[in-house]
């Protein structure tokens, strides 16, 4: 017998608890940046990203939350800008690209055009410096920078920025190890954050943005090679949940039946795993939130309400895990911001984008071929 999904209102207290933790951690932006860094994954920009969406959603104290979110985002832009043009700090989750995406997104969401302009200027500098990046991954390399810059094209199209993304895509294809089983990258295991799934995700979105078939073919070949290793265990960074997220977008963009099957297997396993789970870690990076987000994104991409109901049932488990071991730190991946974002989305997925796909352009399902 399937347990009924809880009403969506039960998740607002979980989001509000995360708000309280983050306001305490980020109220003094300079000190917060010194303690946690500016990045999205573990740092202050991730906390600001959540607080801004909480303010826009009308959570208690929204006006004060807006002030904190904008102050932290401005300080993060200044810090990230000061570190350029060094290519080692450009990453989507650990560096300047994530800060630029957060600044532009928060500026639009909260009505601060100056912050949007600052984020765009930072993005232009990132595009110019991206030729020096040597890593491949979504978290800290070419794939993540490409995705982050592409996500900013919707409201601020720049041909030179798109050219920088295409150059990153060409470098990724040129660096790939080609075999009869597909393509991969040196030192890149399966997985979303640091692995081939994240690189393939960037190539798929680049194909959609440019119309160039070689990027879509590269994405399909990366998925084909990763498929030979089988679906790894649960997890966002290097596990099956992250791969499932990448395959949902791959299906939506490329219409590949094989990627749809991969996504379906990941979603089915997440639902089976969560059905008997009592608690565990709550965070996105290593805990229940990753599986909840996989189900929420499956709902968004496919339109199937059964995934939303399953996500809300699993959200109760995430709430128990938070009560037993509250997340430490302000970041999206390992801290309170990620859990708060997931709780906000469990109440209403339209209130915020997925923290598990931060900086990734949206995708919707097309018929599989």
Which CA distances in Å does 149 have to 27, 53, 170?
29, 21, 15
Q: How far apart are CA 244 and CA 189, in angstroms?
A: 15
Q: How far apart are CA 173 and CA 192, in angstroms?
A: 17
Helix 196-210 to helix 142-151 angle (10° resolution) is 40
**Residue 156: other Cβ atoms inside 10 A:** 15
Quote the pLDDT of residue 162.
93
Quote the pLDDT of residue 276.
66
Quote the pLDDT of residue 86.
75
The string of DSSP codes covering 174-202 is: HHPEEETTEEE-TT--SSSSSSHHHHHHH
Which CA distances in Å does 356 have to 85, 331, 348?
27, 12, 16
Quote the pLDDT of residue 307.
96
Quote the pLDDT of residue 279.
62
The string of DSSP codes covering 230-259 is: ----S-SSSSHHHHHHHHHHHHHHH--HHH
**Residue 179, strand partner residues:** 182
Torsions phi, psi for 212 (to 5 deg)? -90, 120
**What are the b/e assignments for 234-253, b being 16+ CB within 10 Å?**
bbbbbbbbbbbbbbbbbbbb
Give the chain's end-to-end CA distance (angstroms, integer): 35
Q: How far apart are CA 63 and CA 47, in angstroms?
A: 16
Quote the pLDDT of residue 129.
94
Torsions phi, psi for 144 (to 5 deg)? -70, -40
Q: How far apart are CA 337 and CA 343, in angstroms?
A: 10
Torsions phi, psi for 327 (to 5 deg)? -65, 140
Quote the pLDDT of residue 4.
76
pLDDT (tens, 9 = 90+) of the chain, 369 residues, equals 457 788 888 999 999 999 999 999 999 999 999 999 999 999 999 999 999 999 999 999 999 999 999 999 999 999 999 988 777 799 999 999 999 999 999 999 999 999 999 999 999 999 999 999 999 999 999 999 999 999 998 666 778 889 999 999 999 999 999 999 999 999 889 999 999 999 999 999 999 999 999 999 999 999 999 999 888 888 999 999 999 999 999 999 999 899 999 999 999 999 988 876 656 789 999 889 999 999 999 999 999 999 999 999 999 999 999 999 889 899 999 999 999 999 999 999 999 999 999 999 987 654 444
- Please tell me the pTM assigned to this model: 0.94
The string of DSSP codes covering 134-158 is: ---STTTSHHHHHHHHHHTTTTS--
Quote the pLDDT of residue 366.
47
Burial class of residue 180 (count of CB atoms within 10 Å of its CB; 0-12, 13-18, 19+):
exposed
């Amino acid at each position: 017998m399937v347990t009924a999904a809880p009403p969506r209102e039960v998740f607002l207290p979980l989001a509000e608890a995360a708000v309280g933790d983050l306001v305490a951690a980020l109220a003094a932006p300079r000190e917060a940046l010194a303690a946690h860094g500016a990045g999205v994954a573990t740092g202050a920009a991730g906390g600001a990203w959540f607080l801004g969406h909480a303010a826009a959603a009308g959570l208690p104290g929204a006006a004060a939350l807006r002030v904190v979110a904008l102050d932290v985002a401005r300080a993060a832009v200044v810090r990230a800008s000061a570190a350029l043009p060094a290519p080692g700090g450009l990453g989507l989750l650990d560096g300047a690209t994530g800060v630029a995406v957060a600044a532009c997104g928060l500026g639009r969401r909260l009505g601060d055009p100056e912050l949007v302009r600052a984020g765009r200027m930072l993005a232009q500098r990132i595009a110019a410096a991206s030729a020096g990046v040597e890593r491949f991954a979504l978290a800290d390399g070419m794939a993540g920078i490409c995705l982050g810059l592409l996500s900013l094209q919707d409201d601020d199209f720049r041909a030179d920025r798109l050219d920088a993304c295409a150059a990153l895509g060409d470098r990724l294809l040129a660096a790939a190890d080609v075999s009869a089983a597909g393509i991969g990258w040196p030192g890149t295991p399966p997985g979303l954050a640091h692995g081939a799934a994240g690189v393939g995700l960037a190539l798929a979105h680049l194909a959609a943005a440019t119309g160039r078939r070689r990027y879509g073919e590269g994405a399909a070949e990366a998925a084909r090679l990763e498929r030979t290793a089988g679906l790894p265990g649960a997890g966002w960074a290097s596990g099956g949940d992250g791969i499932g997220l990448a395959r949902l977008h791959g299906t939506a963009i490329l219409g590949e039946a094989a990627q749809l099957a991969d996504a379906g297997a990941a979603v089915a396993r997440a639902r089976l795993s969560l059905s008997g789970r009592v608690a565990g870690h709550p965070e996105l990076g290593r805990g229940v939130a990753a599986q909840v987000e996989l189900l929420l994104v499956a709902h968004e991409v496919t339109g199937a309400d059964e995934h939303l109901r399953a996500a809300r049932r699993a959200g109760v488990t995430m709430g128990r895990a938070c009560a037993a071991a509250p997340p430490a730190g302000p970041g999206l991946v390992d801290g309170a911001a990620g859990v708060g974002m997931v709780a906000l989305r469990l109440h209403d997925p339209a209130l915020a984008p997925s923290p598990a796909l931060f900086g990734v352009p949206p995708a919707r399902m097309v018929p599989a071929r």
